[in-house]
Copies of this chain bind each other. A is one copy, B any other.
Amino acid sequence: MTPRACEALIKLKLEVILEAGAGLDAGYPDEEYSRRGVRLGSRAQVFEEAAVVVQARAPGANPDGGGADLAALKPGQILIGFGEPMTALRETAEIAQRGVSFFAMEMVPRITRAQAMDALSSMASIAGYEAVLIGAVTLPKLMPMMMTAAGTLTPAKVLVLGAGVAGLQAIATAKRLGAVVSAYDVRSAVREQIESLGAKFVVLDIESAEGEGGYAKQMDEAYYRRQRELLAAVLREQDIVITTAAVPGRKAPILVTKEMAEAMLPGSVIVDLAAERGGNCELTQAGHTVVHQGVTIVGPVNLPSRAPYHASQMYGTNVVNLLKLMVNKEGALTINLDDEVIRGTLVTHEGKVVNPKVSQLLEAGVNA
């Protein structure tokens, strides 16, 4: 939450308590907050006193401090944050048990009206940008073309696999740096979007796979195999490959196998944005950089934290916009379950897991 976001909340007639020093890493000193009327306190104080607790990483998404936070939650409290409710099922169930109303930011429905709360898109934007920077820094070449007295440096070739929000941002950033950019996505509908950024769409000879709400749907293994074969040829010419392919709630598909990576140019780089979900490359190790036969595979986690200033700004705005839906003119909180956005985002409420997908998964988990 940036000072400005807190200010916006205060304008909504809410009182804001902030854990002291929480904004420091992102470049927001405590004074900025207190100057705007934010009360500072310890983490415990925050959990103790607040009706709404806003976190970036709620217990489900925070293996380190999540447990402690979980314990500090009080019934009737509202919790807002990323919480991976579809995978961190245990934490989610526990949050429900504690009687907390948990709004998981990743569940914001992908409808037009909810774009202002869509923190996934915000974070994906930053991730796409940062991925290119990582690629550029790692690559033993320069990105742009340069014709100099010491010879001509050819421009780097960048391939983006998966042109969702992050992928598109990666395309734009790589184009900016002067690379020759191409991109591929299973949803052939994004071809126009890729071209609208001046990049080339790589045509593989397999059919499209667009699911509901803009997310790609899960495809069968034969499909992925065919895709990999065709991709291998394209990969061999690239300097940087940025993979962003994801299918919501599942492990990321493997797009680049070990063999495919080995066939790439020595010195080339793979930046795998799906690292947190198992990676699009077989060799990816989340949080680590692997060099395999001359090819560097970077598996960054929590990329938005590399641009904490802007990430906080965007996330803060998203949360404020969500809270606006729950606060009436007098600053009182209400959870209006008729609102599509509220209903979609709310995972646990009044002691129960209310999101149908999550409860399905929970039941499946109990059965298994």
Contact = CB atoms under 8 A, between A and B. Distances in A.
A286 interface: no
A232 interface: no
Query: Taking the full assembly, how many copies of this chain does it contain?
Result: 2
Contacts of A125: 146, 148
Contacts of A141: 27, 307, 309-310
Contacts of A118: 149-150
Contact of A133 (B121, B136, B265, B310): B136
Interface residues on A, range: 35 or more
Interface in A147-182: 148-151, 153, 173, 176-178
B151 A314 contact: yes
Contacts of A121: 148-150
Interface string A120-140: 011001100110011011011
B116 A294 contact: no
A150 B116 contact: yes
A151 B26 CA distance: 17
A137 B134 contact: yes
A315 interface: yes
A109 interface: no
Contact of A140 (B27, B119, B150, B151): B27
Contacts of A139: 307
A27 B309 contact: no
A153 B116 contact: no
Given A27-B140, A27-B266, A140-B307, 17 more contacts: A26-B140, A27-B267, A27-B294, A118-B149, A121-B150, A122-B148, A133-B136, A137-B306, A139-B307, A140-B306, A140-B309, A140-B310, A142-B307, A144-B176, A150-B313, A151-B313, A177-B177
Interface of A: 25-27, 29, 115-116, 118-119, 121-122, 125-126, 129-130, 133-134, 136-137, 139-142, 144, 146, 148-151, 153, 173, 176-178, 265-267, 294, 306-310, 313-315, 317-318, 321
12 contacts: A27-B140, A29-B266, A116-B149, A133-B137, A137-B137, A140-B308, A141-B310, A144-B173, A150-B318, A150-B321, A153-B310, A176-B177
